[in-house]
Amino acid sequence: MEIVVGLVKFLLKRNSEMAKMKHLETQEIINGIYAIKTKNANFYVIKNDDEYIAIDAGGGNKNIAKAELEKLNIEPEKITAVLLTHTDFDHISALSLFKNAVIYISKQEVQMIDGSVSRMFVIGKNKLNYNYKVIEDNEEIQFGKLKVKSILTPGHTNGSMSFIINDSYLFAGDNLSLKNGQVNLFNSLFNMNDDIQKESLENLAKMQNIKYIFSAHYGFSDDYHEAFKNLQ
């Protein structure tokens, strides 16, 4: 009975926290960077000559993502890489749509999907039923004209990662929220460790040359220094 009561309380609190989130409509934000709106989350697609890479894969199901991509005339088959900020269900739902993509996760995120670490409570475990490659903190990968640098930013999950594209565009997933133009912690209810996430944000605040910040649940900022000023 106590478990049932606890679950009901969690679900009510979850709905309250999710109501605070501000998702972007599907659109091209700046030249070659697109926000895709899915159920309860945005993911992003970045043009790479005639192909694309994606940051995360959204929530709901693949049909939602497919319909939104069609609005932008983006063919799922042309997405050749998906970099996952983490493996929560609302970031991986359209992966089966991207049949030509290599999936990347941080080395530290493997513990979230191999059964060794519970995501939430004792029974909540993440699953990733796809082949993937692991990437290290501060690793750089070149995808055509796109240079991707990985930054380990634990706190939301143990292996949460942010990605910097071409030294200018920070894709942070659920590693932060953006409220009134300011970077804050993500919703505590969904974080595994707020203190560790704060340390991660302080690390991100030291980055150089960043112009834009993109989040999965709180839109974007085009003023990195203003957004991080309280953490610098």
pLDDT in tens, 153-203: 999 999 999 999 999 999 999 999 999 999 999 999 999 999 999 999 999
pLDDT bracket for residue 221 (50, 70, 90): very high
For residue 228, count other CB atoms closer than 10 A to its CB.
22
**What are φ and ψ of residue 226, in 5° steps?**
-65, -40
5 against 176, higher pLDDT = 176
pLDDT tens by residue, 29-77: 999 999 999 999 999 999 999 999 999 999 999 999 999 999 999 999 9
User: For residue 5, what pLDDT is reported?
Assistant: 58
pLDDT at 91: 97
Cα–Cα distance measured from residue 201 to residue 197, given in angstroms and rounded to the nearest whole number: 6
Domain ranges of the chain: 22-228
Of the candidates 176, 163, 173, 157, the one whose C-alpha atom is nearest the C-alpha of residue 111 is 157
Least confident of 5-9, 10-14, 58-62: 5-9
Render pLDDT for 78-131 as a digit per residue (tens, 0 to 9).
999 999 999 999 999 999 999 999 999 999 999 999 989 998 765 578 999 999
The whole-number pLDDT of residue 232 equals 72
CATH topology of domain 22-228: Metallo-beta-lactamase; Chain A (3.60.15)
Q: Please give the helix or strand (H or E) that residue 28 lies within, else none.
A: strand 27-30
Strands 182-184 and 177-179: antiparallel
In Å, what is the CA distance from 64 to each residue of 39, 40, 67, 138, 182?
A: 8, 11, 5, 33, 30
